[in-house]
With several copies, the nearest count.
Chain A
Amino acid sequence: MAEIVSLREAVAELVGDGDTVAMEGFSHLIPHLAGHEVIRQERRHLTLVRLTPDLIFDQLIGMGVADKLVFSWGGNPGVGSLHRFRDAIENGWPTSLEIEEHSHAGLTNRFVAGASGLPFAILRGYAGTGLVERVGNIKSVQCPFTGETLAAVPAINPDVAIIHAQQADVHGNVQMWGLTGVQKEAVLASSRSIVTVEEIVQTIELRPGGVVLPTWAVTAVAHVPGGAHPSYASGFYERDNAFYSEWEAISRSRESFLSWMERNVLEVGA
């Protein structure tokens, strides 16, 4: 059964140096405030995993939390580059960042295999792309019935998954709705999980499009209203598109980035 704890406790107990940490959220329900807590607790040498690393991953990378990034699309959607991500890859600042990149379909299926207790997944993918040569983690397998060759990717089973959801009940059952990306798979693929939520309710009432994670499949729930800002939480608040745009200027230089992080993350409590 999930324990309901503070975000500080959840990160302190469940995220260790050197862990592989998936923070999922496909443009919606991105666990920004949980990422800030990981930064404040000065975790190091993490392997970060996410289909769509955006601002919170830019921040984690810029603060030197990660040794490695597993991803499939890293940008500021509709705005442009992730400058901290680029600075790490192009210039090794603040540390060099190993990357393993996939297509969305490939990394998604790594999560699916992980959630399914399978060692790998097959897909029609990657054919004819440079990714096959550049990424060690793509192989092929033959169909034992038709002889066709398909791409194979290994399961990913992170140490910890961190996601944000709209609500949990007092028992730790979680419900999210709207775009739910690959969050269920990330939680089910991982050894441990932290779910930050907008609200804790007595009883969950199922919503249209509601995806429920039963409490016994979650390790910890933390009540973190606004935990997805500047991304959004359908039913609670909208995407702060202006902030995504502002991030372009904030993150472009190392100095303005660090000073923003100092003021807005390090000096702020959980």
Chain B
Amino acid sequence: MTRTGSGTGNLGFTPSEMMSIAAARELRDGQVCFVGIGAPSTAANLARATQAPGLVLIYESGCIGAKPTTLPLSIGDGELADTADAVVSVPEIFNYWLQPGRIDVGFLGAAQIDRFANLNTTVIGPYDRPEVRLPGAGGAPEIAGSCKEVMIMIKQSRRTFVDPLDFRTSIGFGDGPGSRERLGLRGSGPRMVITDLGILRPDPDSCELTLTDLHPGVSVEAARQATGWELAVAPEPRVTPAPTEAELAHLRHLVSKRPQGSSK
């Protein structure tokens, strides 16, 4: 567990950087992506700066086709509205653009995730007497339900990878196979969970998150230690290609221009 610091160590990049770059690589040019603030926004904008210049970014504040040149601090920064193809009302974003399932990828973060990729952004501890009151649902429940597929970014630890969740704010695969179908959800659910240690994907049969990729220098054992349940691991996890110089340069350039005030 030497990989949780924020230094670049001897690999020349930090685990957070690897997480952003691994996530950015999964976005394809021309896709339409509904972006949460923070890590997903960083990754999506990195993708736009690298292999997916035509990625269409949608922010729940009403921006369709935002093309920020600096990372926004909030989902409603002026930079997003000023560079968007269209700015619409919040009702329109949710009702006309998200709900019908026309978004390719929903990109979410969370405070907790469980083995079926359900997410908690509501409370740590009991709902009525929370130890930590988190911000709440925001756009997540409907992003998780309606996008054609969902990508999740979350730092992996026993505090974040838990079973059960303290609260289920948005659904991944619910209680396992068939849950989404029974709920009438149209999107296919989480395609992958990208952490600072590796990548997990749902098992096609059981829907359980399975470690399929490890970032450079991370062991299966380290990933197991950072998971609050018995982690399913693919027979031969791939090793994520290390960040290229270009990827790192783009990412660091983006982050360096992030507005003052950001803590993450």
Contact = CB atoms under 8 A, between A and B. Distances in A.
Interface of A: 1, 26-28, 51-52, 71-75, 77-82, 85-86, 89-90, 101-106, 108-109, 111-112, 115-118, 123-131, 134, 148-149, 173, 178-182, 184-185, 188, 204, 209, 211-214, 216-217, 232, 234, 238-239, 241-242, 244-245, 248
A78 B263 contact: yes
Per DSSP, chain B at the interface is loop
B91 A111 contact: yes
Interface string B130-143: 11111111111110
Nearest to A104: B139
| Shortest Cβ-Cβ A-B pairs, 9 listed | A27-B76, A117-B100, A245-B261, A77-B74, A75-B135, A128-B171, A73-B138, A212-B86, A78-B73
Contacts of B229: none
B141 A78 contact: no
Interface in B69-104: 72-78, 80-82, 85-87, 89-91, 94-96, 98-102
Given A77-B73, A105-B142, A124-B142, A148 B184 contact: yes
A209 B98 CA distance: 21
22 contacts: A1-B30, A28-B78, A75-B135, A77-B76, A78-B264, A79-B261, A79-B263, A90-B132, A90-B133, A103-B137, A108-B91, A109-B95, A128-B145, A128-B171, A129-B171, A131-B137, A180-B87, A181-B61, A181-B62, A182-B90, A213-B86, A239-B78
A231 to B, nearest CB: 8
Nearest to A157: B100
A209 B63 CA distance: 12
Contact of B99 (A72, A79, A80, A118): A118
Contact of A127 (B82, B140, B171): B171
Contacts of A28: 61, 76, 78, 81
B56 interface: yes
A217 to B, nearest CB: 7
Contacts of B85: 173, 204, 212, 214
Nearest to B175: A128
Contacts of B171: 127-129
Given A178-B81, A188-B96, A248-B263, A129 B169 contact: yes
A105 B94 contact: yes
Interface residues of B, number: 72
B179 interface: yes
Contacts of A116: 95-96, 99-100
Contacts of A216: 30, 32, 56
Given A124-B146, A182-B90, A244-B261, A105 B135 contact: no
B262 interface: yes
Contact of A128 (B89, B132, B179, B186): B179
Interface centre among B85, B129, B131, B179 (most CB of A within 10 A): B85
B99 A86 contact: no
A1 B31 CA distance: 10
Given A28-B76, A128-B168, A214-B56, A78 B137 contact: no
A128 B137 CA distance: 13
Residue of A51, A86, A178, A238 ringed by the most chain B CB atoms within 10 A: A178
